[in-house]
Amino acid sequence: MFTLAEIERKLNYIKNMNYNWNLTTDKGQFATGFTQVYEAIVNGNRVITCINYQPIFDNENDRKVLTTILLEGNEKEWTKGIVKSIFHDMQLKIVNEEENKFNKGNKLEHMTIQVHYLEKLNNFESGISGDYSFN
């Protein structure tokens, strides 16, 4: 059962999106982190976004999110305004999912973003995510 405030927040969330995103992957666990992959068509080109909610280790308190954005086509085909609107959509998705993907830690204040331009985005599959110790 949702409260009225929760329903209004979710409706505003959907209403404020710039593009229609299809969630293709949503997996993970608190110990290793979570990965969500979204896809959309923007101005005739495919966009894939990978949101990685990093695990919080025992000696840490900060929540961390890495967002990788894969844009089909070359950089000249994408205006700064369109790319910024994709950032905005991912911010809305992250804020909406934050409490589901973290079970402790400080509230998120930012996300780290990578943007890559590829000629074609064919046959994309999401792999594994986790952490690797240098020791």
- Tens digits of per-residue pLDDT, 78-103? 999 999 999 999 999 998 899 999 99
pLDDT(110) > 70: yes
16: which 2 tokens?
Answer: 């404020």
125 inside domain: no
Domain that holds residue 67: 4-118
Q: What angle do CA 51, 52, 55 make, to 5 degrees?
A: 155
129 inside domain: no
134 inside domain: no
* Structure confidence by residue, pLDDT tens digits, 1-56: 556 666 666 555 555 678 999 999 999 999 889 999 999 999 899 999 999 999 99
Confidence band for 125, pLDDT divided at 50, 70 and 90: confident
d(CA 47, CA 39) in angstroms, rounded, equals 6
110 inside domain: yes
Share of the chain above pLDDT 70, in %: 81
Q: How many domains does the chain have?
A: 1
Confidence band for 61, pLDDT divided at 50, 70 and 90: very high
Q: Report yes or no: 35 and 50 within 8 Å, Cβ to Cβ.
A: yes
127 inside domain: no
71 inside domain: yes
pLDDT(64) > 90: yes
131 inside domain: no
124 inside domain: no
Task: Judge if pTM exceeds 0.85.
Answer: no
Mean residue pLDDT across the chain: 86
In 3-67, alpha helices (H): 4-15
pLDDT of residue 50: 95
Edge-to-edge strand list for the sheet holding 65-72: 22-29, 33-42, 45-53, 65-72, 112-118
